[in-house]
Amino acid sequence: MKPQVHFVDRETSAEALGLFAQDDGAWVIGVRAKTGPVAAARHRFPKLKNLLAPLRIKGGTAGKCAVSRLPNPMNCGWFGAVGLGHPHALTRNVAETIGRQVATATCQPGLDWVFVDADFFPATAAAFAMGWVLRATPHYHAQSSATDRCDYADGEHTPKHLVVMTSNAELAQEFWDTLYLPRTEGTLLARDLMQRPANDLTPVALQTEAETLRELGATVTALNATELKRQKLNLLHAVGKGSACPPRLIIIDWPGQTDQDPDAPVVFVGKGITFDTGGISIKPADGMEDMKGDMGGAATVLGAMKAIAMRRAPQRVIGLLAVAENAVSGSATRPGDIVRACNGTSVEIVDTDAEGRLVLADALAYARTTYAPSLMVDVATLTGAVVRALGRHHAGLFTPQDTTAMRLQQAADASGEPLWRLPLPSPDDDALKSEVADLKNCAWGTVPDAMHAAGFLSHFASETPWAHLDIAGTAEADADTPLTRKGPVGFGVRLLDALICAKDA
């Protein structure tokens, strides 16, 4: 169960707010740099200084939060404070970060209502709420002791309600409904999909998840294994043919809300390897259970498409999920096999564990010829090399076009999901040349594999504006932090939606 969000005008009387006050609630007061507690809180709590003193919150540190069981005039069981920093620096992204940190402090056993009095403007109030919900909402789990997704064996607890004070509750609700709730729902969907085990989230099950977007007005179709062969998407078919769960290309078409849009659609392509054994080039057993998350790119695209459909974006957007299970069997693709992609390029598969670029290549070539898009962006948990290069804080951005890079960087800045542009090898680079085919799918030991993977994909994007996002380092968090829960984070959903938001504007 996800927490419920409510916005209340800051002028609301203490008596009216008292209707919500109860022992399972917490008041969290915003503290600004230099000026201290927000004005509304000073009026509402006559002895506010005494209440705040034990919490030791200085306003200059945005996001620092403390919550404790303290007697207070509102008769709530908990009282807390959060630093807001300097007013001019309180952007939407900062407000979201503060929301995540307040959620960390308020996920306490026995606490079901959280009231935040931080004098937010409507947009920052909605951004704060998104951050709070994303950090407070637990991951998908299957413990037999749990009655719903908010139950934890270790006693951790998620409040049921968040109440945010703002200068205009009606406008804050509009920001929430039309922008931040869709992004929140899309991110939570991507997180849950990555957490589900491969025996649950098969290629067919991922198609079923995508089909739920029909309720929002999207058209969802899928090419099964037979249709993949007929359409000559042989690379995608080759990756999945060793599994008892056949591969498929799932197509989500959001038609937009304008009848006469002169622009070609934007296409997002997601790598959807529901489990990756490495194929015959099998991975080591240690850590292979984490390969259930190798469909993180498809999860991101599906989450972004949900956000775009929920907010009724006027731009036509198409999401392609290239879905397969990379398994080991007698019918699996072998190292040295030569397979022809749907654009006619022959590929020598020298390593079956470099499968993600194969499914993306076919999907990109298919998108280019089928939809003539104005822009293609593929998203994938693709290489360990990008993790070694950028760590866990930036996703790798590869594109041959400076204008495309600028658009993606602007979307990254707007969404708070950072990218770092990395060099793209020349199309004439000899590293991927094969002696027996047009290309080979990887070239170990020369330059970082993230670059070779991007260079391989560039052959299938051709002249269409295109970007490749390698999210291998940012898709999951290694541990709980004040900003994220351990596990999938849904990275890229808000970024892709922000890219379309910029187009809509």
Residues 328 and 344: their CA atoms lie apart, in Å, by 26
Question: Would you say residue 140 lies in a domain?
Answer: yes
Tell me, letter by letter, the H, E, C secondary structure of 136-173.
Answer: HCCCCCCCCCCCCCCCCCCCCCCCCEEEEEECCHHHHH
Whether residue 407 is contained in a domain is answered as: no
Identify whether residues 166 and 281 lie together within a single domain.
no
Assess whether 310 and 380 both reside in one domain: yes
In a domain, 360, yes or no: yes
Q: Are residue 359 and residue 452 in the same domain, yes or no?
A: yes
Where do we find the tokens 């096999």? 337
| Number of domains observed in the structure of the chain | 2
Query: Over the range 346-385, which residues count as b (16 or more CB within 10 Å of their CB) and which as e?
Result: ebbbbbbbbbbbbbbbbbbbbbbeebebebbbbbbbbbeb
Residue 469 has a pLDDT of 98
- Contacts of the segment 146-154: beta carbons below 8 A, 24+ positions apart: 148/1, 149/1, 150/1
Give the CB-side neighbour count of residue 354, counting CA atoms within 13 A: 23
For helices 493-504 and 296-310, what crossing angle results, to 10°?
40
Are residues 224 and 170 located together in one domain of the fold? no
User: Which of these three, 180, 207, 235, is where a domain ends?
Assistant: 180
**Catalytic residue of the set 183, 357, 485, 494:** 357
For residue 279, the enclosing domain spans 198-401+429-504
Long-range CB pairs of 158-161 (<8 Å, 24+ gap) are 158/3, 158/107, 159/3, 159/26, 159/106, 159/107, 159/111, 159/112, 159/113, 159/114, 160/1, 160/3, 160/4, 160/112, 160/113, 161/3, 161/4, 161/5, 161/6, 161/112, 161/113, 161/114
Residue 339 to residue 236: CA distance in whole angstroms: 10
Q: What is the pLDDT of residue 61?
A: 82
Work out the number of other CB atoms within 10 angstroms of the CB of residue 425: 20
DSSP one-letter code for 233: -
Which one from 160, 229, 232, 283 is the annotated catalytic residue? Answer: 283
Domain limit, last residue, from 180, 215, 237: 180
Q: Is there a single domain that holds both residue 98 and residue 137?
A: yes
Angle at which helices 356-371 and 449-461 cross, to 10°: 20
Indicate if 141 and 207 belong to the same structural domain. no
Three-state secondary structure call for residue 178: helix
Examine the fold and report which residue of 126, 145, 180 is the final residue of a domain before the chain moves on: 180
Same domain, 107 and 203: no
Active site residue 283: yes
Q: Is residue 271 part of a domain?
A: yes
Residues β-bridged to residue 325: 275
Residue 253 CA, chain-centre distance (Å), reads 19
Q: What is the pLDDT of residue 55?
A: 87
Residue 188 included in any domain: no
Residue 169 sits in a domain whose CATH number is 3.40.220.10
How far apart, in whole angstroms, are the C-alpha atoms of residue 272 and residue 380? Answer: 8
* Same domain? 383 vs 242: yes
In a domain, 191, yes or no: no
Query: Both 219 and 152 in a single domain?
Result: no
- Distance from C-alpha of 237 to C-alpha of 105, rounded to nearest angstrom: 48
* 371 & 264 share domain: yes
DSSP-assigned beta bridge partners for residue 65:
82
Domain containing 471 — which CATH number? 3.40.630.10
Question: Are residues 97 and 46 both part of a single domain?
Answer: yes
* Model pLDDT, residue 388: 93
The reported pLDDT for the residue numbered 378 is 98
- Which pLDDT value is given to residue 168? 96
359 domain residue, yes or no: yes
* pLDDT one digit per residue (tens) for the chain, 505 residues: 689 999 999 887 666 666 555 678 888 999 998 888 998 888 778 788 888 888 888 877 888 898 888 776 666 788 899 999 998 899 999 999 999 999 999 998 888 999 999 989 999 999 999 999 999 998 876 665 554 444 443 446 889 999 999 999 999 999 999 999 999 999 999 999 999 999 999 999 999 999 999 999 999 999 999 999 999 999 999 999 999 999 999 999 999 976 655 679 999 999 999 999 999 999 999 999 999 999 999 999 999 999 999 999 999 999 999 999 999 999 999 999 999 999 999 999 999 999 999 999 999 999 999 999 999 999 999 999 999 999 999 999 999 999 999 999 999 999 999 999 999 988 777 889 999 999 999 986 655 689 999 999 999 999 999 999 999 999 999 988 888 889 999 999 999 999 998 765 4
Instruction: Give the angle 186-373-251 at the CA atoms, nearest 5°.
Output: 45
Q: Assess whether 421 carries a catalytic annotation.
A: no
Residue 305, in any domain of the structure: yes
In this structure, the answer to whether residues 128 and 263 fall within a common structural domain is: no
CA distance 61 to 270: 38
